[in-house]
Amino acid sequence: PSSSLYAGLGLEVEELASFAGLDISEGALTQYVPTDIAQALATNQRIVAITPDNDKNIKRAEIKQGVRQVILAKDGMGKLGLAVESINKGVFVAHVWAGSAAAMAGLRFGDQILQINGETVAGWTRKNTTGFLQKADATKVTLAVRDRPYSRCITVVKDSHNQIGFVFKEGKISAIVKDS
């Protein structure tokens, strides 16, 4: 008789009890698997591992389309807490210091700054931008920002061999596995 957990795989209960030295029988699984998952397995419901809706990291990483307004005030040392970089005639957030006004306002690495206090910054250099920010009023700096236009969110699912389909070396994807 086959186990209902592994129906269709042609595995017998005896095989499950000693699968590569690992006990994956129904009894062992129900002992170590959370109750809600064990109930789903017992009723042959499909189980998919997903990130919960209220996960703060998913919310933090969400990229919204469109332009948003960000209003900042400088700290006691006259700092906003961000560094910018000019790339292809656009001005982008290059760094945000933790606990700074920029961090508290939700600015992130890769966000594109379109305007500062109503002035369009397209074509400005890093030096022009930082100079303008330094001269700006300490009590209110208004930015028009586009969330990470060069970022893309992807969801990666491991296959049955615990592989994800690409080779990651020195912080970069160096190869993609064929047919992954």
pLDDT of residue 158: 73
pLDDT for res 65: 76
Helix, strand, or coil (residue 81): coil
Q: Which residues in the chain show pLDDT less than 70?
A: 1-26, 28-30, 32-33, 37-53, 57-63, 150-155, 160-161, 180
Dist. CA 16–CA 29, nearest whole Å: 11
Is this structure's pTM higher than 0.85? no
d(CA 113, CA 27): 57
Looking at residue 19, the DSSP 8-state letter turns out to be: B
pLDDT value at position 2?
44
Check: CB of residue 94 under 8 Å from CB of residue 109: yes
What confidence score (pLDDT) does residue 1 get? 42
Q: Residue 136 has what pLDDT?
A: 94
Angle at 150 between CA 145 and CA 151, to 5 degrees: 95
